[in-house]
Amino acid sequence: MALSLRNLVSRNSLAPLPIGRLLLSTRGLQTFSLPDLPYDYGALEPTISGEIMMLHHQKHHQTYVTNYNKALEQLDDAMNRGDPSTVVKLQSALKFNGGGHINHSIFWKNLAPVNEGGGEPPRGSLGWAIDTDFGSLESLKQKMNAEGAALQGSGWVWLGVDKELKRLVVETTANQDPLVTKGPSLVPLIGLDVWEHAYYLQYKNVKPDYLNNIWKVINWKYASNVYEKESA
Amino acid sequence: MAAGSTAINFSTPCALFPCQPLSLGFSRSSFHRHQAAKNQRRSTRRAASTPAITAKLELKPPPYPLNALEPHMSQETLSYHWGKHHRGYVENLNKQITGTELDGMLLEDIIFLTYNRGDILPPFNNAAQIWNHEFFWESMKPDGGGKPTGDLLELIKRDFGSIDTFMEEFRAAASTQFGSGWAWLAYKANRLDVGNAVNPSPADEDKKLVVVKSPNAVNPLVWDYYPLLVIDVWEHAYILDFEARRADYISIFMEKLVSWEAVGSRLEMAKAQAAERESEERRRQEEEEKNAGDAEAVEMYLDSNSDEPEAD
Q: E strand or H helix at B21, and its extent?
A: none
Distance from CA of A100 to the nearest CA of B (A): 11
Q: Judge whether A57 is annotated as a binding position.
A: no
Distance from CA of B31 to the nearest CA of A (A): 28
Percent of all residues in chain A with a pLDDT value above 90, rounded to a whole number: 86
Judge whether B92 is closer than 8 Å to chain A, CB to CB. Answer: no
Task: Give the residues of chain B that fall short of pLDDT 70.
Answer: 1-55, 190-205, 296-312
pTM of the model: 0.82
Q: Which residues in chain A are classed under CATH 3.55.40.20?
A: 124-231
Is the CATH number 3.55.40.20 carried by domain A124-231?
yes
Query: Torsion angle, CA of A36/A2/A151/A149, rounded to 10 degrees?
Result: 30
Q: What is the C-alpha end-to-end distance of chain B, expressed in Å? A: 64
Q: Are A193 and A109 in contact (CB under 8 A)?
A: no
Specify the fold of A5-109.
Helix Hairpins (1.10.287)
Residue A63: what pLDDT? 98
Residue B19: what pLDDT? 39
Residues of chain B in contact with residue A174, where contact means CB-CB under 8 angstroms, are 179
pLDDT of residue A20 exceeding 90: no
Chain A residues with CB under 8 Å of a chain B CB are 55, 59-60, 63, 92, 96, 152-155, 174-176, 195-197, 200-201, 204-205
Residue B17: what pLDDT? 40
Q: In CATH, what is the architecture of B75-268?
A: 3-Layer(bab) Sandwich (3.55)
Between the alpha carbon of residue B76 and those of residues A56, A195, B132, B159, B255, the distances in Å are: 21, 20, 20, 37, 21
Q: E strand or H helix at B57, and its extent?
A: strand B53-57
Q: Are B260 and B152 in contact (CB under 8 A)?
A: yes
Domain limits of chain B? 75-268
B180:A200 CB<8 A: no
Task: Give the residue from A50, A175, A44 showing the smallest Cα distance to A104.
Answer: A175
Residue B293: what pLDDT? 80
Residue B207: what pLDDT? 84
